[in-house]
Structure 1
Amino acid sequence: MTAFPRTIHFTGLNTPSRIESSIRNLEVIGTIPDDIRGAFFRAVPDPAHVPMYEDDVVLSGDGMVSRFRFEGGQVDYDIRYVETERFKLERAARRALFGRYRNPYTDDPSVAGRDRTVANTTPVWHAGRLFMTKEDGLAYEIDPETLETIGRWDYYGALRSETFTAHPRIDPVTGEMFFFGYEAAGLCSRDIAYCIADRDGKLVSEQWFEAPYCASVHDFAITERHAIFPIFPTTADLDRLKAGGPHWAHQQALESWVGIMPRRGDVSEMRWFKGPKGVSAFHLINAFDDGELVHLDLCLTDTNAFAFMREAGGIERQPWEIKGALTRWTFDLSKPGDSFEERPIGPPGDLPRLRDVDQGRPYRFAFYCSMNPEGGPPLPGGPVGAAFNALLRIEPGNGRVEMLGLDPEMAISEPVHIPSSREGHDGWLLAVVDRRTGEALFESELWVIDAANIAAGPVARVPVPVRMRPQVHGVWVSEAQLVGRAASRETSRT
């Protein structure tokens, strides 16, 4: 191909930008709260080259690491490509060499056996290191000051898994990072590697187990005592890949499963619970213990939200026909059997966020993106092809829901939460908001939102004078964490 396809994956908000830039002292409309000192890192897929196939998807875009740096009320913006092995090989060739999404059998023969990951999904901060992750490969370490790529991260050769999740969980008390890799033994394997890195960044545990089938395991959860692995029926098949077909196909008639084990136990202690057929959840808000009960809160839909994964499974559903809700699954570990209870606790939506201190614990409130029916048609773009136009605050204890609804022709990305220094204050949110200003023209701003009163809108806005692509996920890193980086890195090395 000589031009980008005119599909939803390459038009609208998803129009390729391919611009690396650095801008100091962005305009600030309003006042940046004193609490906001540090960096907001974002993962932004942006294809550096025209794809090999017209049916390529946005999830194949090369990873870019974006940063908003807050210092003394000023805001700087930077964005750089993650220089993965794939990116460097294609840059040298001046063309795409890797074929269909997660299918190495469609690649140019010159890159057989080379690292395919684009590291485009989630920036992760742990033990003084910044990683860019995508679940089909290992993480890449990034210098948080220069945004230069340091290299692929495998815990100095200690990690055996071939993959690293885009959604690790960090315990706010112990500082440990709990993570996993699926397809850990290679393409279409059922193997999942469950791992723990201590607060200093040392890999202290790696155990393997088999999932009921090879599934897309995008997220998992921890409580203070348990690790929870939801398995949804979006499956891979090696014969299909060898024939040049898609990696993922959703199977509507196949049961979902949830595995629960002691988080510091042995994988042989895993207990499996059978879930509904055909359901899907890419993101989980949180999980927590309640005596012998384990509660898991997830953004559940009755089928896969990605059209290309549904269609590969023969499912013809329009996006507005998909039903879902923020849902709580409750598992009673004191009882035998493989069943559990389910109840809705909030409106449908995705890309949830809660305070870091609430990870794995009962929580008072959380946030996620949704659709405002009064906001008009969603803007085209984003990972699933339609962007969210509302932000919700949910209080699961009392059922209260508050909404920040955007005007027509606007969209909002996943927020990050920043704690407040004021006692009793719920902190702040940062989120990028896009606005369509013409048929194919868009402008973007970073909004600062009071987490206790999201309906009031932003307390500060930071316009960005370059075209931005939609992010997938982001992470907030405080000034104190950035300053302590050097000491943390040295500890993890020894």
Structure 2
Amino acid sequence: MPAYPRTIHFIGLNTPVGVEWSARNLDVIGDIPAEIDGAFFRAVPDPAHAPMFDDDIVLSGDGMVAKFAIQDGKVDYAIRFVETERYALEKDARRALFGRYRNPFTDDPAVAGRDRTVANTTPVWHGGRLFMTKEDGLGYEVDPDTLATIGRWDYHGAFTSQTFTAHPRVDPDTGEMFFFGYEADGLCSTRIAYAIADRDGNLVSEQWFDQPYCSTIHDFAITQNYAIFPIFPTTADLDRLKAGGEHWAHQQHLDSWVGIMPRYGKVEEMRWFKGRPGISAFHLLNAFEEDGRIHLDLCLLDTNAFGFMREAGGIQRDQRDIHGGLTRWTFDMEKPGDGYEERVVGPPGDMPRLRDADQGRPYRAAWYLSMNMAGGPPLLGGPVGVAFNALLRIEPGNGRIDMMGLEPGMAISEPVHVPSQRPDHEGWLLMVVDRQVGEADFKSALWIVDAGAIDAGPIAQVPMPLPMRAQVHGAWVSAAQLATAKSRRPA
């Protein structure tokens, strides 16, 4: 195609930018606290070439890794493409060679059997390394200083899965990373590889098991003793792919499942719990244990959030008609049976964030994105086509909810949390906020917000001099972590 399609995936905040650039000493409005010292990495899908098909989606965009480097109240910025095998092949050809989203049967024959991942979903920091990940392939290691791509990462050949999740979990006490890959041995497979890496980034465990059907497992959770795998009825079908169709189709009448196993145990110890049909959640906030029970908090909807996945399953529903909320599932591990309790604890929303120290533990507060009805119609952009315009802070234990609502014509991306050195302070949240200033013109800024007083708005802002494309996920890495990693590298 000579030009990008004029669809929701390529207009508004999803308008392709495709520019690698960097800048030092960006303007800062307000004062950035001195304890915010490190780097905010962002995963930004941005197609380097117009797609082969006009119904392509934002999730197919080439991965770009962006970095806000913050020190002494000063801010530098850089963004570069992740040079995956796919990116390199298309760069040489000067055109798209890979076809529909996660469907290799629609690719140009010249790239048959080549790595299709675009590494565009989540920056992951562990063991002194930075990875860019997308769940349809292995992660790519990126130099945290220069953002140069180092290469595909498979733990020096020890990790045998073909895929790596975009949502691993790191235990705050042990430093271990727990992760998995689904479709681990090929397209539409039910096989899942569950793995553990120690705090230094060495693979210490890998086990394989089957899920009830081939579903998209975007996220999972850990507690101090368990690993939790939610299975929602968005399914893959090999015959549909061979016919040139969608990888994922939501099955509204198919049951959901949750698999729970001891996190250091054997996959044969997996216990399956049966859930309501048709429900869907892409992101889990947290899980923790209490008196023999496991609580799992997740951003639950009554159907799939992505229109193209619903439509592939024959579901015609307007985005505004989807219902759900922040929901708590409680599993009594001391009782027999496959049921669990469910209650709503917060308004609808997504992109949840909590303190790293609270991972897998009881927590007091967390944050996630939602809609501010007073903020007018949402901006077009982001993975599902419409952007969030409010940030919520919630205390599930007592039901308190605070909101930072944006003005009309504004949108907000997922925040990252920066811990405070003061024990009585909740830390800081960093996020990119966009504002529409013309029919097809947008301005972006980095906002710094007090995590315990979000309704006060930003304490500092960093206006960006060039357009920015909507982010998927982000990660905060402290200066101390970056320095330790740098000292381990050979001279």
Structure 2 counterpart of 1:245, one-letter code:
G
The code of the aligned residue for 1:376 comes to G
Aligned residue pairs total 490
Residue equivalent to 2:95? 95
Tell me, yes or no, if the aligned pair for 2:34 and 2:71 is still in contact at 8 Å.
no
**C-alpha displacement of 1:412:** 0.3
Paired with 1:180 and 1:472, the residues of 2 have a C-alpha distance of 20
* Counterpart secondary structure, 2:374: coil
**1:435 counterpart = 2:413:** no
Equivalence map 1:68-79=2 (5 Å): 68-79=68-79
Residue of structure 1 equivalent to 2:52: 52
Give the corresponding residue for 1:271: 271
Determine what percentage of the aligned residue pairs are the same residue. Answer: 73
Residue 359 (str. 1) matches residue 359 (str. 2): yes
Q: Any unmatched runs of 5+ in structure 1?
A: none
Structure 1 residue 191: Cα displacement: 0.3
For 1:291 and 1:200, locate their aligned partners in 2 and report how far apart those are by CA, in whole Å. Answer: 32
Matches of 2:170 and 2:253 in 1, distance apart?
34
- 1:227 partner letter: A
Cα offset, 1:421, TM superposition: 1.3
The 1:58/1:454 distance shift into structure 2, 3 A limit, reads same
Correspondence for 1:255: 255
Kindly state the Cα deviation for residue 73 of structure 1 after the two structures are TM-superposed.
1.0
> How far does the alpha carbon of each residue in 1:97-120 deviate from its partner, in whole angstroms, 9 at most, with x for none?
000000000000000000000000
Report what 2:241 is aligned to.
241
Structure 2 gaps, min length 5:
none
For residues 196-250 of structure 1, the C-alpha deviation after alignment (integer angstroms, 9 at most, x for no partner) is 0000100000000000000000000000000000000000000000000000000
What amino acid sits opposite 2:287 in the alignment? A
Give 1:72 deviation, angstroms.
1.5
TM-score, normalised to structure 2's length?
A: 0.99
**Structure 1 match to 2:2:** 2
Q: Report if the CA contact (8 A) 1:127-1:489 is conserved.
A: no
Q: Is the 8 A contact 2:427 2:452 kept in 1?
A: yes
Q: After superposition, where does 1:67-216 map in structure 2 within 5 Å? A: 67-216=67-216
Q: Is the 8 A contact 1:129 1:489 kept in 2?
A: no
Q: What are the superposed Cα offsets for residues 116-140 of structure 1, whole Å, 9 maximum, x if unpaired?
A: 0000000000010000000000000
User: Quick check: 1:315 aligned with 2:311?
Assistant: no
C-alpha RMSD over aligned residues: 0.7
SS in 2 for 1:374: helix
TM-score by length of 1: 0.99
Contact 1:127 1:488 in 2 (8 A): no
State how far apart, in whole Å, the 1-side matches of 2:244 and 2:177 are: 36
C-alpha distance in structure 1 between counterparts of 2:227 and 2:218, whole Å: 14
Aligned-residue offset at 1:291: 2.3
Is contact 1:128-1:489 (8 Å) kept? Answer: no
The answer for the alignment partner of 1:289 in structure 2 is 289
User: Residues of 2 paired with 1:241 and 1:447: CA distance?
Assistant: 42
Aligned partner of 2:12 in structure 1 is: 12
Residue 458 of structure 1 corresponds to which residue in structure 2? 458
TM superposition shift of 1:172: 0.2
The residue number in structure 2 matching 1:223 is 223
1:339-364 CA-partner distances (Å, limit 9, x unpaired)? 00000000000000000000000000
Aligned residues of 2:232 and 2:280 also touching (Cα < 8 A): yes
**SS state of the match for residue 484, structure 1?**
helix
**Secondary structure of 2:375's aligned partner:** coil
Say if 2:414 is the partner of 1:414.
yes
The aligned residue for residue 479 of structure 1 is 479
User: SS of the residue aligned with 1:240?
Assistant: helix
Secondary structure of 2:17's counterpart equals coil
Residue identity matched to 2:18: R
* Divergent runs of 4+, >2 A: 486-490
Shift of residue 292 of structure 1?
1.3
Partner in structure 2 of residue 338 of structure 1: 338
Q: 1:219 to 1:111 in 2, by over 3 A?
A: same
Q: Distance in 2 between matches of 1:35 and 1:408?
A: 32
AA of the residue aligned to 2:450:
D
1:176 alignment partner AA: E
Structure 2 counterpart SS, 1:105: helix
Contact 1:200 / 1:488 at 8 angstroms: preserved in 2? no
Q: CA deviation at 1:422?
A: 1.8
What's 1:63 paired with?
63
Distance across 1 between alignment mates of 2:488 and 2:205: 20
State the distance in 2 between where 1:51 and 1:78 align.
Answer: 25
Distance 1:486 1:323 in 2: 46
Q: Which amino acid aligns with 2:173?
A: V
What's 1:299 paired with? 299
1:388 matched residue in structure 2: 388
Counterpart of 1:194, as a letter, is Y
How far is the alpha carbon of 1:487 from its aligned partner? 4.5
CA deviation map 1:234-285 (0-9, x unaligned): 0000000000000000000000000000000000000000001000000000
Q: Read off the aligned partner of 1:29 and give its amino acid letter.
A: I
State the 1:486 CA deviation: 3.2
User: In 1, are the aligned partners of 2:169 and 2:177 still within 8 Å (CA)?
Assistant: yes
Per-residue CA distance 1:458-490 (angstroms, 9 max, x = gap): 000000101100100000000000000034567
Counterpart of 2:330, as a letter, is T
Q: In the TM superposition, what whole-angstrom CA distance separates every residue of 1:141-172 from its partner, at most 9, and x where no partner exists?
A: 00000000000000001110000000000000
Q: How many angstroms does 1:434 deviate by?
A: 0.1
